[in-house]
């Protein structure tokens, strides 16, 4: 499993997101390659991301849902 997390340069959720993902993987006994990327609004727009943080599992966005804008 591959988890990609994209976080705005202005978003303060990275530490909490790292902790939540680590706990979830541990509880479910799942191994995943987890990557975190701190990106600009322009980079987010290029990638088609809708919010910060944006979390993709195996390339499919699971968070956020129905948000507009990245910052």
Residue 69 domain-assigned (yes or no): no
| CB count in 10 Å sphere of residue 57 | 14
Residue 58 domain-assigned (yes or no): yes
- Among all chains, which residue has been given the structure tokens 């790292």? 18
In the β-sheet with 33-39, what is the strand arrangement from edge to edge?
33-39, 2-8, 54-57, 60-63
Residue 70 domain-assigned (yes or no): no
Number of domains observed in the structure of the chain: 1
Tokens of 61: 């966005």
Where does the pLDDT of residue 68 fall: very low under 50, low under 70, confident under 90, or very high at 90 and above?
low
Residue 68 domain-assigned (yes or no): no
Instruction: Find the domain containing 46 and state its range.
Output: 2-63
Residue 10, phi-psi category: left (phi > 0), alpha (psi -120 to 50), beta (remainder): alpha
Residue 50 domain-assigned (yes or no): yes
7-57: pLDDT as tens digits: 998 888 899 999 999 999 999 999 999 999 999 999 999 998 988 999 999
The CATH number assigned to the domain holding 43 equals 3.40.30
What pLDDT does 51 receive?
87
Residue 71 domain-assigned (yes or no): no
Selection from 34, 69, 32 nearest residue 49 by Cα:
69
């Amino acid at each position: 499993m591959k988890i990609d997390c994209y976080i705005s340069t202005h978003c303060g959720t990275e530490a909490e997101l790292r902790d939540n993902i680590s706990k979830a993987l541990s509880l479910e006994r799942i191994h995943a390659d987890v990557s975190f990327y701190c990106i600009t609004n322009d980079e987010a727009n290029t990638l088609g991301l809708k919010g910060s943080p944006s979390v993709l599992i195996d390339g499919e966005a699971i968070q956020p849902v129905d948000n507009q804008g990245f910052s």
